[in-house]
């Protein structure tokens, strides 16, 4: 059997490891030190796919929030439209028109006889 050599980790070793890892990240050598150079294309492809997935999710959420805002605006506009429709319908009644004409001081009244046809 092979003997396993147990070494104790010291806090200084962890500090050195973190320092070396940080320097490797800064220099861009982290992947080379981990010996993953031959798999770099796969990692890059996976990263691009994940970035596209995140981008599509953000665009979808943005679109859904716009749809919700537009639905709320549409509901408000429907209320305004129904109110305006009611106002127009109430203004077209003959009695209300006659009352408004009197309020405005007009001498116009509802005709009592048929219109006279003028000839050329």
**51 vs 58, 84, 97, 114, CA distance in Å?**
11, 49, 66, 79
Q: Is residue 32 part of a domain?
A: yes
Number of separate domains in the chain: 1
What is the rounded average pLDDT for all residues in the chain? 83
Q: Is residue 63 part of a domain?
A: yes
Summarised one tens digit per residue, pLDDT across range 28-85 is 787 777 777 788 788 889 999 999 999 999 999 999 999 999 999 999 999 999 999 8
Straight-line distance from the first to the last Cα atom of the chain, in angstroms, rounded to the nearest whole number: 129
SS3 1: coil
Q: What is the pLDDT of residue 1?
A: 47
**Is pLDDT of 113 > 50?**
yes
**37 vs 21, 32, 47, 68, 92, CA distance in Å?**
17, 6, 15, 47, 82
Q: Identify the domain containing residue 66 by its residue range.
A: 11-91
């Amino acid at each position: 059997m092979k003997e396993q050599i147990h070494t104790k980790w010291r806090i200084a070793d962890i500090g050195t490891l973190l320092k070396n890892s940080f320097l490797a990240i800064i220099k861009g050598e982290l992947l080379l030190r981990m010996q993953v150079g031959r798999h770099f294309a796969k990692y890059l492809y996976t990263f691009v796919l994940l970035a596209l997935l995140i981008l599509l999710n953000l665009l979808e959420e943005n679109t859904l929030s716009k749809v919700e805002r537009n639905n709320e605006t549409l509901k408000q506009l429907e209320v305004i439209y129904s109110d305006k429709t009611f106002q127009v319908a109430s203004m077209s009644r003959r009695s209300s028109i006659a009352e408004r004409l009197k309020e405005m001081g007009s001498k116009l009244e509802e005709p009592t006889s048929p219109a006279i046809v003028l000839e050329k």
